[in-house]
Amino acid sequence: MKWCPNLLLVVIVFGLLSMGRFAQSQEIDCSILNTLRPNNENQLRGIPDSVFFANAIQLGHCWISSYPNNANQFADECVLRAYSLNIPANVDFILDMAEVLFINEQDSLSELCIEEALHMAEPHDSTNWKAEVYLFASKLKQENNERYSAMPFLDSALANINKPDPELRAVILMNLGRLYYDLGDYSTAMKQYAVARDVYESNGLKSMDYGNLLHYIGSVFKRQYNDSTAAEYYQKMVDLGKEIDEPLLEAEGYYLLSDIYGYAGDFENEMKTLKIALDLYEQYGDERGIVQVQLAIAHAYVYSGDDDLAIEYSLKALERNKGASTTISFNALRYLGRMYGRKGDFRRAQDYFAQAMEVARSTEEKRLINLRNLQYNIAFTYVKEMDWKSAFYALEKYISYQDTLVRKENRNVVNELEQRYEKEKKDAEIVLLNKDTEIKKKEIARQKLVKYAFMGGFTLMLMLAASIFFSLQQNKRKNKIITAQKEQVEHKNEEIMASITYAKKLQTAVLPPARVVKEYFADSFLLYLPRDIVSGDFYWMEHLPLTPSSKEGGTISYFAVADCTGHGVPGAMLSVIGMNGLNRALNEQKLTEPKDILTSLSDHVQRHFEQSESTVRDGMDICLCALDDKTKKLTFSGANNPVWIARNGEMHILNGDRRAIGHHNTDTQFTQQEFQLQDGDVIYLSSDGYQDQLGGPKARKLMKKVFREKLLALSKEPLDKQRETLLSDLETWKGTQNQTDDICVMGIRV
């Protein structure tokens, strides 16, 4: 078996990560031990070289599993025989054996083999063998979750590329990116991936490794909830697989695309891509891929509500898997338990849950996560069976596993911090050694400098005296210029402040006065606190009579609170545009539905910036309500912002659409919701300024949940008192911090 970066990437990254260690996921035929009879060290050495090398991998797995205490004998024998080979075959062979030892959890022996491989590659500076050995070592460290320990190996791999090899360089960069991805540093991961991508594309390299890189880049975007860009990279995997005739890469791309469609709720395309992936895997006999997709199809049917097909594909995956992957077996059994529970066949459901429990307990891989998820499914099956005692017991176990997981995650964080500390400490020691050498060099240079400085000192003193004289003359002239400039700046500042003050007057003139708010809603309050002189937040309201056809008369009151991009003068300018847009939609276009008003407002804001040569991303979030004073029916439409309604100690939440005003997004249309109000209900509209205010002992945000609970606690108080309490609590929370953002909160009691 010839080792190369491409092969290891497939074996280690996909094989070990997805299916567990080799000895646990695949049956090894150990009849070779009976054939060769290597039951002691002497008999190992008695095996001819040709037979040993031809069977070394299988022999290694069987020897270590049969004689784990004598694993070192196998390692010694491999190293001894490797020296009979020539470069690169000896390095190649030793790395294969290091992998066998690692898979069988003989990590220290695996590391000794890697050291021997480096020793063998040392004399060959004109090759890249050392770089490949370091790359191999880094992968084993990553596989052992020693991520910070893997970094120096990857750095060494890059440093030991002695002859041009763009693909090797790209693979190392890709692995470095994968390391940062596993650490959750997606920004740095993407930087490494981007450099690797440039190496592939600039050299016209199209391979499985390049396909894996496209997978990794897509995964970063998916982690950041940018599913559309992730889908583009997964589609590139599909296209690359077709171009280089790698059907398994094409199948993997379709499989990843199906997940994007699934999250988007596009069941039709999810099933379409899964069926294509399944056909490709079946065509080329990839058993792992087949059962992986069969289980994904079962998962899709679980969430689409087709219990029979979910059961069918779960059974197919379970039968075909034959225990090779505990993850596949566990999830297939869990789905079967869940589906039979949903169908009311509780005996079968509990039987499958019991089998899933046995699988989960038999393996360490994701053991706690699997047990936690299983208890959750069991609990809700008992709920459907109306066995409340058993359901409660299962939920108790679920909570227990969840608590254990949290503690374990905290320990992992501590371990990673310790690894980072050790790495940084070693780096600091190297820096100190370098600094010590540098200090000695500087001391020698300083002694020479003192000698020369004494000789030139007198000359410099004469030059300094002359320089001081001329500097005094120049400073007099500069002081006059600075004084004049200072006066100009002060004058400009006065003009700017005058303009801002005038802008405040204009904004105040456009905003409804507080007394008008009280006229519209007698029992109401308004908390309006610009961060600067002018504000990017604004409130708006308007009264219109019901349509002439209405026999009962009455009015509809429109009111809104909006949060524009930025604050200060730019925010104020946008707020004026926003208020004009609302007035135009209601009074000129005669629009009455809140969703139509927001659509018109968004178009109005877009038109104001279309003439700009650069892209302008300014916009606003807003909550807009229409209240029929006769029926007390509230109609709400929002751009990102919600409206809250307090009733009898409970807060009802109407969420806005996930779209901002003024942004070019035609995929999401504004919708509206209706809510029947009752006497005593309190409606709250707010920008994000209050909840985002920094304060408290840790100078953190107040947060939306705390703000909402505060409003609910105050909801039974008179509205004027609510405003006073909110203002007082804000000052207490803020303490010595400056106001973070503009604040606008409106409360109305029906």
Same domain, 489 and 520: no
Q: Is 271 inside a domain boundary? A: no
**What is the pairing mode between strands 620-628 and 555-564?**
antiparallel
Q: Is 567 inside a domain boundary? A: yes
DSSP string, 415-454: HHHHHHHHHHHHHHHHHHHHHHHHHHHHHHHHHHHHHHHH
Q: What is the pLDDT of residue 733?
A: 93
CA-nearest of 366, 362, 379, 377 to 408 is 366
Same domain, 503 and 622: no
Q: Is 159 inside a domain boundary? A: no
Q: What is the pLDDT of residue 5?
A: 34
Which of 369, 392, 421 represents a domain boundary (last residue)? 421
Same domain, 670 and 691: yes
Q: Which range marks the domain in which residue 307 is found?
A: 286-421
Same domain, 412 and 318: yes
Asked if residues 576 and 510 have their Cβ atoms less than 8 Å apart, the reply is: yes
CATH number at residue 674: 3.60.40.10
Q: Is 544 inside a domain boundary? A: yes
Q: Is 207 inside a domain boundary? A: no
For the chain, the domain total comes to: 4
The whole-angstrom separation of Cα 123 and Cα 134 is 16
Same domain, 326 and 446: no
List, in order, residues 6 or more apart from 98 with CB less than 8 Å away. 110, 111, 113, 114, 117, 136, 140
pLDDT in tens, 716-730: 999 999 999 999 999
CATH number at residue 362: 1.25.40.10
pLDDT beneath 50, residues of the chain: 1-27, 410, 413-414, 417, 421, 431, 448-462, 464-466, 548-551, 611-616
Q: Is 110 inside a domain boundary? A: yes
Residues in the chain: 750
DSSP string, 311-376: HHHHHHHHHHHTTS-HHHHHHHHHHHHHHHHHHT-HHHHHHHHHHHHHHHHT--TTHHHHHHHHHH
Instruction: Supply φ then ψ for residue 266, to 5 degrees.
Output: -90, 80
Q: Is 248 inside a domain boundary? A: no
Q: Is 162 inside a domain boundary? A: no
State both tokens at 484.
């004049």
State both tokens at 728.
């007082």
Looking at the DSSP bridge assignments, the partners of residue 564 are 620
Same domain, 461 and 521: no
The whole-angstrom separation of Cα 200 and Cα 210 is 7
Please report, as a single letter, which amino acid is at residue 186.
Y
Same domain, 464 and 356: no
The whole-angstrom separation of Cα 455 and Cα 741 is 62
Which of 369, 389, 421 represents a domain boundary (last residue)? 421
Same domain, 450 and 532: no
CA-nearest of 250, 269, 248 to 258 is 269
Same domain, 591 and 663: yes
Which of 510, 528, 544 represents a domain boundary (last residue)? 510
Same domain, 58 and 103: yes
Same domain, 565 and 448: no
Same domain, 602 and 693: yes
